[in-house]
Amino acid sequence: MVRILVSDAMSEEGLAPLLADPTIEVVQKKVTEVEGELDTFDALLVRSATKVTEQLLQNMPNLKIVGRAGVGVDNIDVDAATRYGVVVINAPNGNTISTAEHTFAMMASLVRRIPQAHISVKSREWNRSAFVGVELFGKHLGIIGFGRIGSEVAKRARAFGMHVHVYDPFLTKARAEKIGVDVCTLDELLAQADIITVHTPLTKETKGLLGPKNLAKTKKGVYLINCARGGIIDEQALLSFLENGHVAGVALDVFEQEPPGDHPLLSFDNVIVTPHLGASTIEAQVNVATQVAEEVLKFLQGKPVTSSINLPTLSKDVYEKIQAFYTLARKMGIVASQYMSEPVQEIAITYSGSVADLETTFITRSLLAGFLKPRVASTVNEVNAAMIAKERGIAFSEKFSANGNDYNNSITLTVYGENKTFTMKGTHIAHYGDRIVHFNGFAIDFAPEGHLLYIQHHDKPGMIGKVGNILGDHQVNIATMQVGRQEAGGKAIMMLSLDKPLDDALVEILEKIDDIDVVKRLEV
């Protein structure tokens, strides 16, 4: 039974695919309520409240995937998750419209002082002159961060007759032209805007983006809005610019600390606030929960996920094309790692023929994961394979060749060790399967599967018989046997597929046979 912990409030309708699956148990509780059983969960679904720290990941050794029902993953230690081989996915567009609408609601509320007027009337006052606002029409709106939400805000602003200025260092000219916005530098935006709204993620670069220096560059009487992440507008700096009257008003949905407690910003009449409600609509919550539920389900069924933060993104089409090579590469990695039972410095992979045209990042990661698996105690998979290889000083490279070298497709793997170099070549043949067609300098043809026994010997009459007799005497059945040699009477190899793994004693007996140089068990 797969166990999924849903530790923040999530739409039941969205979670339906998981709740309906009889092989899955969904536990909807806070982390603190299940401390004794954290090691039993396979998946963790969160919103922004749960902090997925390295400590929590350590306490959940069975965890395979974290699903964020929303956009921001700043509450998840993605680096640590990657190190532990845990996939992190989010639901990137389910709450875009809701957050853009909330931003706009905040903007209108801010300039027309609706929350303040509301409190006044509820207090039985009728003070029309105290709540004179300004129009949005004709004003200059500065949007910092022009991704999904920023661009939806821009559409709405244009419908209100506003002039839109955008700052986003990663926005391509082509996209800006297509949307028809005025792209400017941050300084230009700060100087021109009557209202500034931020829609970036919280990163090292955006933390404090609107701090004392940049706030000083804004127009006197500017309005500021943050419906993205607390800290993009520096709260301390904001206090002084409100105190000196430079900033006319602020709308905040998010805070550096949530909840903000008794924060001095809350005392200002011209600061309006909501408790991180950007994504809090029925529609957005169904959308994001559905997106993560479907993705987690796919992942648990071994299918590719499309919204991973720490894995290359794969569409279903691409996955179907690479699937066979992904499996072949994994097996080649496992075999090579056992054959090269010594420290290695470099793994070079050449993709030839039809496979060279495919998205190979994932195939390479699969090969690396296979290679590292027998060597590392912790989980190793496509998420962390490249990182673990780097940590262990193993360089890897990919080369591509249109020519399949006698095969429609092939993957050639060369492993450079401290004392020797090992090469193998594999191919995938439709309706036939994975074959290793070159091994350690010998042409051969075997399936990289099950309990394999590799023997390197001198090409002499009777060698096959000797090996066969010893295995037979010890009740080890040989399922298949392939042989290869470089030249008659020279070096030769046998690759046997056995019905059960060989024990150490039998390996020693085989090693003692005259003219046998190498005996290696390869478990795939």
Ligand X SMILES: O=C(O)C(=O)COP(=O)(O)O
Residues that bind ligand X (CB under 6 A): 47-48, 69-72, 95, 276, 278-280
**What does 501 interact with, of ligand X, ligand NAI, none (CB < 5 to 8 A by kind)?**
none
Under the binding rule (CB under 6 A), the answer on residue 279 touching ligand NAI is yes
Nearest residue to the partner ligand NAI, using Cβ: 147
What CA–CA distances, in Å, run from 216 to 148, 194, 237, 247, 409? 28, 14, 10, 10, 61
Q: Which is nearer to ligand X, 97 or 524 (CB)?
A: 97
Tell me, what DSSP letter sits at residue 184? Answer: -
Identity of the amino acid at 291:
Q
Q: Which of 45, 136, 149, 195 binds ligand NAI (CB under 6 A)?
A: 149
Nearest of 406, 480, 482 to residue 439 by alpha carbon: 482
Kindly state the smallest distance separating residue 228's Cβ from ligand NAI, in Å: 4
What is the Cα Rg of the chain in Å? 31
Kindly state the smallest distance separating residue 200's Cβ from ligand X, in Å: 11
Q: Which is nearer to ligand X, 70 or 426 (CB)?
A: 70
Backbone dihedral region for residue 489 (phi beyond 0: left; psi -120 to 50: alpha; all else: beta): left
| 276 is known as an active-site residue | yes
Collapsing DSSP to helix, strand or coil, 503 comes out as coil
Q: How many residues bind ligand NAI (CB under 6 A)?
A: 31
Q: What are phi and psi of 494, to 5 degrees?
A: -125, 140
How big is the CA angle at 88 (ends 82 and 90), to the nearest 5 degrees? Answer: 150
Under the binding rule (CB under 6 A), the answer on residue 497 touching ligand NAI is no
CA distance 181 to 161: 13
Interacting residues of 484 by C-beta distance below 8 A, sequence separation 6+: 439, 442, 443, 444, 492, 493, 495
**Residue span binding ligand NAI (CB under 6 A) among the ranges 12-20, 198-206, 331-339, 490-498:** 198-206
Of residues 204-263, those binding ligand NAI (CB under 6 A): 205-206, 227-229, 253-254
Q: What are phi and psi of 453, to 5 degrees?
A: -130, 120
Nearest of 107, 211, 84, 227 to residue 156 by alpha carbon: 107
**Residue span binding ligand NAI (CB under 6 A) among the ranges 107-115, 167-175, 401-409, 491-499:** 167-175
| 229 is known as an active-site residue | yes
Query: Is 107 within 8 Å of 197 (Cβ atoms)?
Result: yes
CB atoms near residue 335 (< 10 Å): 29
Tell me, what DSSP letter sits at residue 130? Answer: G
Token code pair at residue 52:
């997925």
Kindly state the smallest distance separating residue 45's Cβ from ligand NAI, in Å: 16
Kindly state the smallest distance separating residue 15's Cβ from ligand X, in Å: 14
Q: Which is nearer to ligand X, 71 or 334 (CB)?
A: 71
Of residues 48-87, those binding ligand NAI (CB under 6 A): 70-72
CB atoms near residue 133 (< 10 Å): 14
Which candidate in 37, 54, 258, 342 is catalytic? 258
**What does 47 interact with, of ligand X, ligand NAI, none (CB < 5 to 8 A by kind)?**
ligand X
**What does 150 interact with, of ligand NAI, ligand X, none (CB < 5 to 8 A by kind)?**
ligand NAI
Q: Which is nearer to ligand X, 74 or 182 (CB)?
A: 74
CA distance 150 to 35: 39
Kindly state the smallest distance separating residue 336's Cβ from ligand NAI, in Å: 39
CA distance 469 to 474: 9
Kindly state the smallest distance separating residue 278's Cβ from ligand X, in Å: 6
Under the binding rule (CB under 6 A), the answer on residue 427 touching ligand NAI is no
Catalytic residues: 229, 258, 276
Would you tell me which residues interact with ligand NAI (CB under 6 A)? 70-72, 95-96, 99, 144-150, 167-170, 199-202, 205-206, 227-229, 253-254, 276, 278-279
